[in-house]
């Protein structure tokens, strides 16, 4: 984990590759499991539950410089440079195929997992290059978490074990594991809805609850940055509102990058917005400015619905 000393938090270098200490298992079942008890509804996010482990203002900035990404011979991302300020929400908008998701996957090095894909350029978490040759990729992905387009709880795991999965891989066990799972569920506003059925399957939750469960799984390992790739595209309006409210709460403690096709959503949740087209950044500005007085004609045409 990258510590966050105050008043000017600076991360420590990403750790070098180390053998994993633990594997996912079910040897630490929650003692609170009582699947037959009634479910409390609609608890509010409680980021204070994260306590000293995640004080307000403890996010870290990400700087992308000269990023080029390829799928085989296809040049998908073309010399992209973006600053993602700490403790802000930055939205990336643009038509399908513009490269939005590829950029966020390059930030935490998931792009290279695709056969034939590669990236060139610099991505820094504060001053630390996440593409440095001696950096542990697992540590990168622990520090820069990812929430995907569709909720993806592990289908064979309980609610509790879904949140605990990443913690167990890093060797957490016993009471500390339980406390961190509980903190994460409180932070995303799920605790009151699931505390009496932690042993129930995660896939038994509603779509919106599943997405908040996945966010809890992400923040349980205490990342520095949260990437969200269209996290509400598969959700109904009520569930979408809950996730958007959660994003607004989370930015006080994390740096958040959200890819969205929904321009209204970008206007609601983002401090600044990036407009991409054909693998290039066309404009990056404060959200209200980009939507009301864009500087580039292509941005104006996109946000007014003339194409895309």
Alpha carbon distance 129, 285 (integer Å): 25
In this predicted structure, the answer to whether residue 127 has a pLDDT above a threshold of 50 is yes
Name the residue among 96, 53, 97, 52 with its Cα closest to residue 74.
97
Alpha carbon distance 149, 114 (integer Å): 17
pLDDT of residue 115: 95
Name the residue among 63, 53, 62, 61 with its Cα closest to residue 4.
53
Alpha carbon distance 217, 81 (integer Å): 29
pLDDT of residue 171: 74
The Cα-based distances of 49 to 45, 106, 156, 290 in angstroms read: 9, 31, 27, 35
The Cα-based distances of 11 to 108, 138, 173 in angstroms read: 16, 16, 25
Alpha carbon distance 256, 5 (integer Å): 20
Query: Which of 61-70, 74-83, 132-141 comes out lowest in average pLDDT?
Result: 132-141
pLDDT of residue 1: 44
What domains sit in the chain, N to C, each tagged with a CATH number? 47-303 (3.40.50.300)
In this predicted structure, the answer to whether residue 22 has a pLDDT above a threshold of 70 is no
Band the pLDDT of 27: cuts 50, 70, 90.
very low
Q: How does pLDDT run across 151-210, given as a tens digit for each residue? A: 899 999 999 999 999 888 877 677 789 999 999 999 998 999 999 999 999 999 999 999
pLDDT of residue 265: 95
Band the pLDDT of 150: cuts 50, 70, 90.
confident
Structure tokens at 265: 């959503």
Name the residue among 106, 128, 1, 94 with its Cα closest to residue 52.
1
Q: What are phi and psi of 135, to 5 degrees?
A: -85, 140
Alpha carbon distance 290, 69 (integer Å): 26
Q: How does pLDDT run across 103-118, given as a tens digit for each residue? A: 999 999 999 999 999 9
pLDDT of residue 46: 56
Residue that is written with structure tokens 């699931």 in the block:
194
Band the pLDDT of 304: cuts 50, 70, 90.
very high
pLDDT of residue 307: 78
Band the pLDDT of 234: cuts 50, 70, 90.
confident
């Amino acid at each position: 984990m990258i510590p966050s000393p105050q008043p000017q938090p600076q991360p420590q270098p990403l750790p070098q590759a180390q053998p994993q200490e633990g594997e996912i298992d079910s040897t630490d079942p929650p003692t609170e499991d009582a699947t037959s008890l009634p479910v409390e509804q609609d608890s509010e996010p409680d980021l204070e539950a994260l306590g000293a482990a995640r004080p307000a203002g403890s996010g870290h900035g990400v700087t992308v410089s000269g990023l080029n990404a390829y799928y085989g011979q296809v040049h998908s991302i073309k010399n992209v440079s973006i600053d993602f300020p700490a403790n802000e929400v930055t939205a990336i908008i643009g038509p399908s195929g513009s490269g939005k998701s590829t950029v966020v996957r390059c930030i935490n090095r998931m792009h290279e997992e695709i056969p034939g894909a590669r990236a060139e350029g610099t991505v820094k978490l504060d001053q630390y290059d996440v593409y440095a040759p001696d950096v542990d990729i697992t540590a990168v992905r622990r520090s820069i978490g990812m929430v995907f387009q569709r909720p993806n709880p592990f289908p064979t795991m309980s609610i509790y074990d879904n949140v605990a999965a990443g913690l167990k891989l890093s060797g957490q066990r016993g009471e500390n594991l339980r406390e961190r799972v509980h903190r994460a569920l409180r932070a995303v506003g799920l605790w009151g809805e699931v505390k009496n059925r932690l042993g129930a399957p995660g896939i038994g939750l509603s779509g919106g609850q599943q997405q908040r469960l996945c966010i809890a799984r992400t923040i349980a390992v205490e990342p520095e940055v949260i990437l969200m790739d269209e996290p509400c595209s598969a959700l109904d309006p009520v569930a979408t509102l809950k996730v958007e409210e959660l994003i607004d709460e989370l930015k006080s403690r994390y740096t958040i990058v959200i890819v969205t096709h929904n321009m209204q959503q970008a206007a609601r949740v983002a401090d600044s917005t990036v407009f991409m087209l054909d693998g290039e950044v066309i404009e990056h500005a404060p959200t209200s400015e980009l939507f009301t007085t864009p500087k580039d004609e292509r941005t104006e045409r996109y946000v007014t619905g003339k194409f895309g």
